[in-house]
């Protein structure tokens, strides 16, 4: 399990997209069957949600938590 984030000043430069792509490749090389992640539904996370959808991550559940909804996604490798 790992965490990552992109500095707000660096957003919009494909850093998050490249990081997720790299992590997916690494997970496949390690023989993992699934890649799972979750994010809050905050407005600041909207761009990340689009990236996850483009990579094929499917929403598998949502959960209310401290004033937001956590969105759990999964990608079958």
The reported pLDDT for the residue numbered 6 is 85
Query: What residues contact 43, with CB distance under 8 A and at least 6 apart?
Result: none
pTM of the full predicted structure?
Answer: 0.83
Please provide the size of the chain in residues.
Answer: 77
pLDDT tens track for 3-40: 778 888 888 898 989 999 999 999 999 999 999 999 99
Judge contact between 58 and 75, C-beta under 8 A: yes
């Amino acid at each position: 399990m790992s965490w990552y984030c992109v500095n707000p000043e660096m957003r919009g430069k494909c850093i998050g997209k490249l990081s997720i792509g790299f992590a997916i490749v690494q997970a496949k090389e390690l023989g993992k069957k699934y890649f799972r992640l979750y994010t809050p539904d905050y407005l600041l996370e909207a761009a990340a949600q689009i990236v996850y959808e483009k990579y094929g991550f499917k929403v598998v559940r949502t959960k209310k938590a401290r004033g937001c909804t956590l969105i759990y996604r999964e990608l079958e490798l």
